[in-house]
């Protein structure tokens, strides 16, 4: 619980900084778009590669493949839920893709990974890091496709971006025991560490163009939030427990499924034409609500 509260407060402070900078005119819409393009290149690529380069090599290839396979299955379930939820809630057609992205991609890297490590141990943290590989592969392929909308012509060139390339490379590097030099590890780690404050600042700056009372007054998000924060982890736990005998892996996937909407939804919306304001409100509200829902999920299921 103390770690969760600390993470929540840290992320909210970063959001507030971005919000204040936008309100003071330091970050305008053009600057925020530029920040987003930067975040989606070097920092985003570095954080993915850093996890592969610095990963513990003590586990067998079979274990690594098994965990990544479980992560793939997890995201297939979330994709099914993400496609279903907008239709059940009667979301307007133009926003269905965004609601799907919000449902599928939680804050697994910057909230889920440290929480898994603190609550379940280092093995769970290793599992969570491996699951980020299929997460990134889906985010920068399916996520882009969903935000493009049903009327946009499918174009693979949009998906051939640095973040996707680095995700594929990271998946390969997991299995290659290269003795990386210290400066390579440090460089990728330092660049990767930028992504959390950058992403939260971008979300906060996007929030700065809206009135806070409008954020809290969006009643549709109060209906949607239980699907993301409670239904998703319960569904994952109920289905995955039928196939996974490793209790730590099952608990890790459940915890990752309980995380709030990820900032990646805002960043992809800025870059590929999604409803940035709605994505910002969803990330902010579910992040606040998760302070109550994550402990509830842990108490009920873990």
pLDDT in tens, the chain (302 residues): 677 778 778 888 888 899 899 989 999 888 888 888 888 788 878 887 887 787 766 667 788 889 889 999 999 999 999 999 999 999 988 899 999 999 999 988 778 877 887 788 878 877 888 888 888 888 888 888 898 765 555 566 666 677 778 877 877 787 777 788 999 989 988 988 888 888 889 888 888 877 777 777 888 899 999 999 999 999 999 999 999 999 999 999 999 999 999 888 988 888 888 898 899 899 889 988 988 899 899 889 98
Cα separation, 56 vs 124, whole angstroms? 12
Q: How many helices (H) and strands (E) does the chain have?
A: 17, 0
Q: Where are the beta strands (DSSP E) in the chain?
A: none
Give the residue from 121, 106, 110, 7 showing the smallest Cα distance to 51: 110
- Residues in a beta bridge with 261: 106
- pTM (whole model) above 0.85: no
| pLDDT at position 158 | 61
| pLDDT at position 29 | 84
| pLDDT at position 194 | 87
Cα separation, 46 vs 163, whole angstroms? 9
Q: Which residues contact 112 (CB under 8 A, 6 or more apart)?
A: 106, 128, 255, 256, 259
Q: Around Cβ 191, how many Cβ atoms within 10 Å? A: 17
| pLDDT at position 257 | 95
Q: Are 229 and 258 in contact (CB under 8 A)?
A: yes
Name all domains of the chain by residue range, CATH numbers in brackets. 57-167+212-301 (1.20.1530.20)
Cα separation, 179 vs 87, whole angstroms? 49
Which single residue is written with the structure tokens 């005998």? 245
| pLDDT at position 150 | 54
Q: Are 22 and 207 in contact (CB under 8 A)?
A: yes
| pLDDT at position 149 | 60
| pLDDT at position 193 | 85
The alpha helices in 105-211, defined as continuous H runs, are 113-120, 122-138, 144-148, 162-173, 182-193, 195-207
């Amino acid at each position: 619980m103390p770690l969760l509260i600390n993470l929540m407060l840290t992320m909210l402070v970063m959001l507030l900084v971005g919000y204040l900078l936008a309100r003071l005119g330091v970050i305008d819409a053009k600057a925020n778009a530029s920040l987003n393009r930067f975040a989606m290149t070097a920092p985003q690529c570095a954080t993915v590669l850093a996890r592969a380069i610095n990963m513990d090599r003590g586990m067998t290839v079979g274990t690594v493949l098994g965990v990544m396979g479980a992560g793939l299955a997890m995201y297939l379930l979330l994709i099914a839920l993400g496609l279903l939820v907008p239709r059940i809630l009667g979301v307007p057609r133009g926003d269905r893709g965004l609601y799907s992205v919000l449902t599928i991609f939680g804050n697994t890297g910057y909230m889920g990974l440290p929480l898994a490590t603190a609550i379940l141990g280092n093995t769970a943290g290793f599992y969570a890091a491996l699951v980020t590989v299929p997460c990134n592969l889906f985010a920068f392929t399916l996520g882009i496709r969903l935000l493009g909308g049903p009327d946009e012509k499918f174009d693979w060139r949009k998906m051939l971006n640095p973040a996707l390339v680095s995700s594929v490379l990271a998946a390969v590097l997991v299995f290659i025991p290269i003795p990386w030099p210290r400066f390579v590890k440090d460089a990728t780690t330092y660049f990767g560490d930028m992504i959390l404050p950058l992403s939260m600042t971008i979300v906060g700056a996007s929030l700065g163009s809206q009135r806070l009372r409008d954020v809290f007054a969006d009643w549709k998000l109060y209906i949607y939030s239980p699907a993301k924060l409670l239904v998703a982890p319960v569904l994952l736990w109920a289905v995955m427990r039928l196939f996974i005998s490793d209790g730590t892996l099952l608990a890790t996937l459940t915890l990752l499924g309980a995380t709030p909407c990820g900032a990646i939804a805002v960043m992809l919306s800025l870059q590929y034409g999604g409803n940035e304001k709605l994505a910002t409100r969803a990330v902010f509200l579910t992040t606040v609500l998760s302070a109550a829902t994550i402990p509830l999920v842990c108490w009920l299921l873990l």
